[in-house]
Chains A and B, each alone.
Chain A
Amino acid sequence: MRLVQIQPRSGSRPPEVPSKLPGIPSSAGAGGTPSEPLPVLLPSGQALSPDLRELRDLKNLEEILKNARELIRDLSFPTARAWAAGGGTSVAFFPVYTPHEIAHSLGMLPVTVHGGGEDLEITHADAALGSFLCSISKSTLELAITGCLDPFSAYVFPYICDVSRNLEGILCRLKPGSATHMLHLPQNFTSPATIPFLVTEYRRLIAKFEKVSGNRYQASELTQSLKLYNERRRAIEELSELRRKEPWKLPTSELYLLERMGDLLPPEAHLPLLRRSLEQARERSRTKRDAVRVLVVGPFCEQPTPDMLALVEEAGCYVVGDELNMLHHWTPTVPLDGDPLENMARSYVQTPVDIGVRATPIPKGDSIVARARAVDAQGVLFLTAKFCEPALEDVVLYRRGLDREKIPYLHMEFEERSTAYEQSRLQIETFVESVLFD
């Protein structure tokens, strides 16, 4: 597969990061022959490029996982480059909640940039951002400084915290020719004025997207995009349900990869992969282990490495609920009747998500207990990004609720490039033992 063709733009610095380019195979994988690629037309009329079609047609779950692992590690953003090569424009969205569907309806490739992960060394961003800040903010800035974000024409930072908000102000200085936007996500969830305000905010974003994409916004296209994204949400929900009921068939470290690759792919390519994965995961004959069912709370923005997630499971946990890849879980479905922008705004405002980056309508202590019980968790693992204040402040209130109900928990902090795996393993094993034998 020729997905990754890193050609530094003339005059710009080459990306310093991807020493290891993704080994996306030249065949569609062991389990199957690539099906005859069907031209999938995107909203703007652009066809899915051969590279993306090839990826979409991967047949075998193990191969899909392998490609996902490589894709998310590739800091040259090959899908955005492939998109650009086909004449399209892409948007880099910072986590946690952003309206990808809007970009999609304008024929843009929406990508969530989850920082630089474990492979990126921070050499420039520290000076711009200051100390005491989370890794994802620094590595995202580092990606921008080193040219890795060049394939994108627009950058969107939601007001999930002051760091994300301020990052936009730095990016707009760094990339003066691009469209940048700080998306104000409202925090008043009771006012009737909030939904119209959010629609206005979306229209501001649309105006910028129209400029860089050259396409005009159309409500009917957005409804189509919402429909497709709803289908994807359904597929992810089914995978999550399988993970909750039979976590040995689809551990979270794998579910995570399947979801995460969707942050880089158009949903047209992602959805078939999810469906195929679900079918095959259901059929897996794996033996159930004696493990503790845990709810993982905290990594809603900066993500732990896949190795860290695997370690949690190896050390004796079944992760049966989590806050990873929250965008895919924010709302079960967005209604399709009526004005699509209003439907999106209503869905954001009226879905009472309990998460660190949105005001919570019910007490946190009660909420965490209800959430743990909903997934039948025996304990809670707080996995918070170092310096992530929204997560750190919630932990105290959550812990009080868990203490009241005598639900065990463990709190660990992580960083994108943390290597203290052995220490973490020991902590988790001790926690598991205490839950199993107390």
Chain B
Amino acid sequence: MSAGASLLNANPGFLRDAREEQRKMVERYYADLESAGGPKRPVAYMLVGGNLTEIVRSFGYEVVFPEIVALNCAIKHKSLEYILNAEAQGYGLDVCGYVKNDLGLQAQGGVTPFGKVPKPDLLVCSFSGCYVYIKWWEALAETLGAPMYTYDVPYQRTEAPLKEDVEYMVAQLWEFIHFLEKTTGRSFDMEELKRVLARSRRAEEEWVRYLDAGRRRPSPIEAYFEAVFYMFPINVLRGTEEAVRFYETCNEEIRTRVSEGNYPVPEEKFRLVVEGVPPYTNYRTFWDFFRKWGAVSVAATYPKVGGLFDRGFYHDPSRPLESIAEYSLGAYVNQSWPLRRDLIKQYVRDYEADAVLIHGIKSCRSFTAGQGDLRDWLIHDAGVPTLYIESDHEDPRYFTPAQIKNRMDAFFESLDLRKRTGPSAGPAGGHAATTAGASATKEVAVR
């Protein structure tokens, strides 16, 4: 999983200030990183799922998310080069593309088209939602010699976090804090952490406000392709004023879009919920396959890989470590399949979606294993037209544009027919109505 695409060259006309600001923010981030590393500005590598950005930053670490670096490489069409390097080291075809991108990049000295990524002084493995995290971090620890701390996050199998799970994580967080105190020689400042968490909370609330705008008809946001741009601050810069300001700018822009009628597609024909990681190597091409049909994503699961804030998993300065623990539990792929299924169904209802599009990633089992069953469930149990397509997030060899386009065209054609003539003519075996028709659309204020 990952988040925070930044260097995307796709930039359809409805995107304005926020997109521009995000681009600059990312450039600044990578420029700053170039000089980081070593005792003065130590670097911690972290994983997006369940990450501990606030704690690690409070000890003066610069933070690198190799998943985000990897997706940036894919967007810049550099991932294949690093993947081939990793394959030459012995990593098989079926290993996660992010892992191969990173290990190939490390072997090539960390040099990317957008800056040099420093080596880690610390590896923080938040084991939340993906087993590959463990393997990946072990490989980095062994190859680069950095110490690794594993923060074990229990799989989330109940809607509300369980007390014992939270206690277990809080105990680990204290141990991690002591470990950081020892490693850096700095003392932990709880009051400072609370201040940082208060800023995180403000950014999270603004981010949720932005995502909620997808409930409007027509949707003023693209909740997949556009939201992916904006995931960067919520994961990497959480806890800073910069992140808060950024989401305020986003919401300001959404208000302007609504007042000016500047929408992601000129005429919104299909409202989609999208599940799965995007094919970063062909981001613009994939997006175009939606746009040509007037299809807009109104909600998506992937922007929630860093946290299900919209489901109440917020940071809370009055319960600092407990809320960090709960946040870590709430990473999207750390949710059991029943919870994932329910969430998607709720998105379809709350965002009045016409259909679900699932993009499976061939080298990501965490997201993908079971998406076929999800499709079956959506079609047969939930009555939602659903299309499943498969490629890869990092490896362009698995993106077959003609085939994907054909399948999407056929799907949208049948959705179109279904809209005009009723469900029996539609896709998904003529299953029942697309949405349960909740009335949420206009109730969501876009301030």
Interface, chain A (partner B; CB < 8 A): 126-133, 137, 159-163, 165-170, 172-173, 182, 184, 186-194, 196-197, 200-201, 356-357, 359-360, 363-365, 386-387, 389-390, 392-397, 399
- Whether B130 sits at the interface, judged by CB under 8 Å, is yes
Segment at the A interface, from B39-47, B188-196, B218-226, B369-377: B369-377
* Complex Cα gap A161–B96 (Å): 13
The residue of chain B having its C-beta at the shortest distance from the C-beta of A359 within the complex is B134
Q: Which residues of A contact B368 (CB under 8 A)?
A: 130, 132
Measured between beta carbons, the chain B residues less than 8 angstroms from A163 are 365, 369
Identify B95's interface contact among A160, A170, A184, A393, CB under 8 A.
Answer: A393
From known contacts A192-B171, A393-B91, infer whether A133 and B138 are also in contact, taking CB-CB under 8 Å: no
A25→B151 CA distance, assembly (Å) = 52
Smallest distance from the beta carbon of A110 to chain B beta carbons, Å? Answer: 21
A162 adjacent to B139 (CB under 8 Å):
no
CB of A408, distance to nearest CB on chain B (Å):
15
Residue of A131, A365, A396 with highest tally of chain B CB at under 10 A: A396
A168 to B156 CA separation, bound complex (whole angstroms) = 13
* 26 pairs of residues in contact across A and B, judged by CB atoms under 8 Å: A126-B372, A130-B368, A130-B370, A132-B94, A162-B365, A163-B369, A166-B366, A167-B370, A170-B337, A173-B337, A184-B155, A188-B152, A191-B152, A191-B171, A191-B172, A193-B168, A194-B168, A200-B164, A363-B142, A364-B142, A389-B131, A392-B91, A392-B94, A395-B90, A396-B89, A397-B139
Are A166 and B370 neighbours in the complex by a CB distance under 8 Å?
A: yes
- Chain A residues in 8 Å Cβ range of B338: 169, 172-173
Interface 1/0s, chain B 128-155, versus A by CB < 8 A? 0011101110110010000000111011
- In the complex the two chains form, what is the Cα distance from A200 to B154 in whole Å? 12
Contacts of A170 in B (CB 8 A): 337, 370, 373
Q: Distance in Å from the Cβ of B323 to the closest Cβ of chain A?
A: 18
Residues A133 and B369 in contact in the complex (CB < 8 Å), given A360-B138, A396-B90: yes
Q: Which residue of B lies closest to A384 (CB)?
A: B92
Given contacts A127-B372, A389-B95, contact A182 B365 (CB under 8 A): no
Whole-angstrom distance between the Cβ of A95 and the nearest chain B Cβ: 14
Q: Please state if A389 and B132 are interface contacts (CB–CB under 8 Å).
A: yes
The answer to whether A162 and B369 touch across the interface, beta carbons within 8 angstroms, is yes
Nearest opposing residue in chain B for A196, CB measure: B168
Chain B residues with Cβ under 8 A from A200's Cβ?
Answer: 164, 168
B336 close to chain A: CB less than 8 A: yes
Could you tell me the distance between the alpha carbons of A184 and B337 in the complex, rounded to whole angstroms?
15
> When the two chains form their complex, are residues A169 and B370 in contact, meaning their CB atoms are under 8 A apart?
yes
Say yes or no for B362: interface residue by CB 8 A criterion: yes
- Contact partners of A169 in chain B: CB under 8 A: 336-338, 340, 370, 373
Complex formed: what's the CA distance from A192 to B172 in Å? 9
Q: Which residues of A contact B165 (CB under 8 A)?
A: 197
Question: Once bound together, how far apart are the Cα atoms of A187 and B142, in whole Å?
Answer: 17
Residues of B within 8 A of A191 (CB): 152, 171-172, 175
B363 in the interface, Cβ–Cβ < 8 Å?
yes
B154 contacts across to A, CB distance below 8 A: 184, 186, 197, 201
Q: Are A396 and B91 in contact (CB under 8 A)?
A: yes
Tell me which residues across on chain A come within 8 A of B268, comparing CB atoms. Answer: none
Contacts of A132 in B (CB 8 A): 94, 362-363, 365, 368
Q: Is there an interface contact between A159 and B362, defined as CB atoms closer than 8 Å?
A: no
Judge whether B336 and A133 touch: CB under 8 Å: no
The answer, yes or no, to whether B360 is at the interface (CB within 8 Å) is yes
- In the bound assembly, the distance between CA atoms of A137 and B372 in angstroms comes to 13
Contacts of A190 in B (CB 8 A): 175
Which chain B positions have C-beta within 8 A of A137?
A: 369
Q: What A residues does B369 contact at CB under 8 A?
A: 129-130, 133, 137, 162-163, 166-167
Q: Give B314 Cβ to nearest chain A Cβ, in Å.
A: 24
| B122 lies within 8 A of chain A by Cβ | no
Interface pair A392/B92, CB less than 8 Å apart:
yes
8 A Cβ contacts from B355-407 to A: 360, 362-363, 365-366, 368-373, 376-377, 390
Chain A residue with Cβ nearest B392: A132
Q: Establish whether residues A197 and B155, one from each chain, have CB atoms under 8 Å apart when the complex forms.
A: no
Nearest Cβ on chain B to A413's Cβ, whole angstroms: 8
- The 10 residue pairs across chains A and B that have the minimum distance between CB atoms: A169-B337, A193-B171, A188-B152, A162-B366, A128-B373, A396-B90, A197-B168, A393-B135, A166-B369, A162-B365
In the complex, residue of chain A having the shortest beta-carbon distance to the beta carbon of B358:
A130
- Tell whether B157 is near chain A: CB-to-CB under 8 Å: yes
How far apart are the CA atoms of A360 and B150 in the complex, in Å? 11
Closest A residue to B91 using CB positions: A396
Check A130 against B371 for contact (C-beta < 8 Å): yes
Separation in Å of the A388 CB from the closest CB of chain B? 8
Known: A130-B372, A172-B337, A396-B90. A359 touches B171 (CB 8 A): no
Residue of A nearest to B92 (CB): A392
Q: Complex Cα distance A78/B398, Å? A: 43
| Residue numbers in B under 8 Å from A162 (CB-CB) | 130-132, 365-366, 369
Smallest CB separation, A227 vs chain B (Å)? 28
Contacts of B91 in A (CB 8 A): 392-393, 396
Give A168 to B151 CA distance when docked, in angstroms. Answer: 23
